């Protein structure tokens, strides 16, 4: 046994010299290195799939995800607009698990012991060689007095993680008086899906225009201006929904009076029939448990060649939880997942690593049920600055169009197929 | 032609890699091209096997791929979004992607079936 091990190490070192990457010692007692992926959203699902697609039988991959279903945030604003149902955006993990031989654990992370490379779940423990956290975002309610209780958070939903909350907000819009007021608050950037709140305004306006044309929308934006696709959204609101939308920049909600249906900003109080508060966000709880959220205690600083945490060795972070001057989008999450999967495989096996990652991001926003527009960029690793920078040629649509709504649909179909089958 | 000349060199490199690869099921590409090509999956499916109305890139003739990407870059072929991606890539990357996609087997991409949201699904 020890001879075998020594020969193995020798071979591995020889391979390392040849390929320029270092193999890692395997944890004793396990035949293969084990990678545990926490989170089955876009980032986690993509990481798990590509680890197996590229790593084959060289690694065991365990996915830990508390939910039984995948519900897509992209396209979920269309549920509010009425052109999609939540069931059309809800999927099983069965195909992904089966097609790629993933060990799937439906459980919640209780603690992480990075020193002993151990993950403690509600019902079991797992040792790991590499841990990939794709924890998504956690909402920060500390600065939103009035929304402490679960009941309050149902009455004033965020609808910023698709599922029950999306259905809840849609029902509230349906039962709102015909001349009612919908008030929505947007947190300071960075938050998940930069153009998402403004797309939501379009979708709620689209619903109102057809069913409640006297209704109004007040947007309280904590940012000084529209964060993404500004010119396009401003024009879409004016052209498609004239007189319906009142946009107030620099409006930070500081308190919520749930019973009084009122949002308080520093200088004002705004009453509405339906309130939608998108809270400020930070890296999801698993990242907080291991103290990887070292940037403002919110986001995780990573090495952009490996997505390994800059503060916790052997723990990699991908997706919306990462601190980067990159949009927190689903496409970005899957791209980060694949750079990470490649780097993790390089560290555990003799596979070579990509030392200059380049990836694309395409993000569509719907302004009606059949018109959409994009923002698209290629991002390239900058060796000197050690960050991902936008390459030449990126930008946004000239105008929303029907053809781009088709492309948005194809985007959704393909990214679902990519991460879920 | 210049186009043909710069197209040939990396293909030879790829052929050389095939024999030395650790995982022999599929030809091995540089990790850079493999990771970059996977980034196209959001719109063009896993390994270029699109399930939607976007073109299937798997098995696409590499010279055609290169010509189209160059046409997107120059504006000779108009597009809504592809010009943004084509302009962000180097010529070597376009050639590498062309070689990668041309050797991917065409398989029918699968769409996961959607299903009813379980009432227990709560974040």
Contact by Cβ (8 Å): A366, A405: yes
The nearest alpha carbon in chain A to B24 belongs to A56
Question: Would the CB atoms of B123 and A67 count as touching at under 8 Å?
Answer: yes
Contact A416 B111 (CB under 8 A): yes
Q: What is the mean pLDDT of residues B28-32?
A: 89
| Beta-carbon separation of B110 and A421 below 8 A | yes
Q: What is the pLDDT of residues A318-372, one digit of tens each?
A: 999 999 989 999 999 999 999 999 999 999 998 889 999 999 999 999 999 999 9
Of B9, B3, B10, residue with least CA distance to B100: B10
User: Residue B29: what pLDDT?
Assistant: 87
Average pLDDT over residues B72-97: 95
Pairing of β A69-71 and β A60-64 = unpaired
Query: For chain A, what is the mean pLDDT?
Result: 93
CB contact under 8 A, B44 and A414: yes
Q: Name the DSSP class of A329.
A: -
Residue stretches of chain A with pLDDT short of 70 = 1-30
DSSP state of A147: -
Judge contact between A216 and A204, C-beta under 8 A.
no
Tell if the CB–CB gap between B123 and A165 is shorter than 8 Å: yes
Q: Which of A16, A71, A348, A358 to mutate to test the interface with B (most CBs of B within 10 A)?
A: A358
- Residue B13: pLDDT band by 50, 70, 90 thresholds? very low
ω before A190 within 30° of 0 (cis)? Answer: yes
A362 with B42: Cβ contact below 8 A: yes
- pLDDT of res. B122: 52
CB-CB neighbors (< 8 A) of B41 in chain A: 334, 414-415, 418
Candidate from A354, A362, A413 with C-beta closest to B52: A413
Q: Do B84 and A334 touch (CB under 8 A)?
A: no
> Who among B23, B43, B123 is closest to A163 (CB)?
B123
CA distances to A209, A212, B48 from A242, in Å = 10, 14, 42
Chain B residues touching residue A421 (CB < 8 angstroms): 46, 109-112
Contacts of B20 in chain A (CB under 8 A): none
Q: What is the pLDDT of residue B2?
A: 43
pLDDT at A325: 87
Chain B interface mutation, best of A393, A403, A404, highest count of B Cβ atoms under 10 Å: A393
User: What's the complex ipTM?
Assistant: 0.88
Who among B34, B51, B120 is closest to A417 (CB)? B51
When CB atoms are compared, the residue of B54, B80, B115 closest to A397 is B80
Yes or no, beta carbons of B42 and A415 under 8 Å apart: yes
Shortest alpha-carbon distance between residue B40 and chain A (Å):
7
Decide: A393 and B87 in contact? Cβ < 8 Å. Answer: yes
pLDDT confidence band for B121 (50 / 70 / 90): low
**Predicted confidence band at B21 (pLDDT cuts at 50, 70, 90)?**
very low
- The reported pLDDT for the residue numbered A30 is 66
Mutate to test the interface with A, among B30, B39, B95, B110 (most CBs of A within 10 A): B39
**And the tokens for A147?**
């929304």
Nearest-by-CA chain B residue for A414: B45
Strands A216-221, A181-186: parallel, antiparallel or unpaired by DSSP? parallel
The predicted structure's pLDDT at residue A60 = 97
pLDDT of residue A153: 97
Q: What is the pTM of this model?
A: 0.90
Kind plus residue range of the DSSP H or E element containing A63: strand A60-64
Torsional sign, CA A252, A255, A256, A261: negative
Beta-carbon separation of B112 and A417 below 8 A: yes
């Amino acid at each position: 046994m020890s001879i075998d091990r020594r020969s193995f190490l020798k071979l591995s070192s020889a391979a390392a010299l040849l390929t320029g990457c270092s193999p890692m010692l395997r944890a004793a007692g396990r035949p293969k290195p084990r990678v545990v992926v926490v989170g089955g959203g876009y980032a986690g699902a993509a990481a798990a799939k590509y680890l197996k697609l590229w790593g084959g039988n060289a690694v065991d991959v365990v996915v830990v995800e508390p939910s039984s279903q995948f519900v897509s945030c992209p396209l979920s604003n269309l549920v509010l607009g009425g052109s999609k149902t939540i069931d059309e955006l809800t999927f099983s993990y069965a195909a992904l698990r089966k097609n790629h031989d993933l060990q799937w654990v439906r459980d919640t992370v209780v603690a992480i012991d990075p020193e002993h490379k151990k993950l403690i779940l509600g019902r079991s423990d797992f040792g790991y060689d590499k841990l990939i956290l794709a924890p998504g975002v956690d909402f920060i309610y500390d600065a939103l007095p009035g929304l402490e209780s679960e009941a309050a958070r149902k009455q004033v939903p965020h609808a910023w993680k698709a599922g029950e909350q999306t259905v809840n907000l849609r029902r509230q819009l349906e039962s709102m008086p015909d001349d009612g007021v919908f008030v929505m608050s947007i947190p300071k950037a960075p938050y998940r899906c930069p153009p998402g709140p403004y797309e939501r305004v379009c979708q709620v306006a689209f619903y109102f225009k057809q069913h409640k044309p006297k209704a109004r929308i007040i947007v309280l934006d904590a940012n000084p201006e529209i964060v993404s696709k500004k010119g396009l959204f401003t024009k879409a609101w004016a052209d498609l929904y004239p007189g319906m939308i009142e946009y107030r920049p620099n409006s930070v909600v500081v308190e919520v009076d749930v019973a009084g249906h009122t949002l308080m900003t520093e200088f004002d109080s705004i009453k509405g029939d339906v309130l939608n508060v998108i809270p400020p966000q930070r890296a999801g709880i698993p990242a907080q448990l291991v103290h990887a959220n070292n940037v403002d205690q919110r986001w995780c600083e990573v090495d952009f060649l490996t997505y390994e945490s800059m503060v916790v060795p052997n723990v990699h972070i991908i997706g919306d939880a990462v601190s980067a001057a990159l949009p927190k989008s689903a496409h970005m999450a899957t791209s980060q997942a694949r750079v990470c999967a490649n780097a993790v495989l390089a560290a555990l096996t003799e596979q070579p690593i990509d030392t200059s990652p380049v990836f694309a991001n395409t993000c569509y926003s719907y302004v009606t049920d059949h018109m959409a527009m994009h923002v698209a960029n290629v991002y390239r690793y900058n060796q000197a600055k050690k960050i991902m920078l936008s390459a030449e040629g990126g930008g946004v649509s000239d105008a929303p169009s029907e053809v781009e709504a088709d492309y948005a649909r194809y985007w959704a179909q393909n990214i679902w197929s990519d991460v879920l089958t | 032609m210049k186009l043909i000349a710069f197209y040939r060199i990396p293909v030879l490199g790829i052929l050389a890699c095939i024999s030395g690869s650790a995982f022999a099921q599929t030809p091995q590409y540089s990790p850079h091209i493999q990771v970059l090509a996977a980034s196209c999956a959001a719109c063009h499916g896993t390994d270029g096997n699109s399930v939607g109305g976007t073109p299937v890139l798997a098995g696409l003739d590499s010279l055609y791929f290169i010509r189209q990407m160059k046409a997107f870059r120059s504006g000779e072929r108009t597009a809504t979004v592809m010009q943004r991606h084509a302009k962000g890539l180097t010529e070597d990357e376009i050639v590498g992607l062309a070689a990668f996609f041309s050797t991917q087997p065409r398989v029918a991409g699968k769409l996961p079936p959607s299903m009813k949201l379980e009432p227990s699904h709560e974040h």
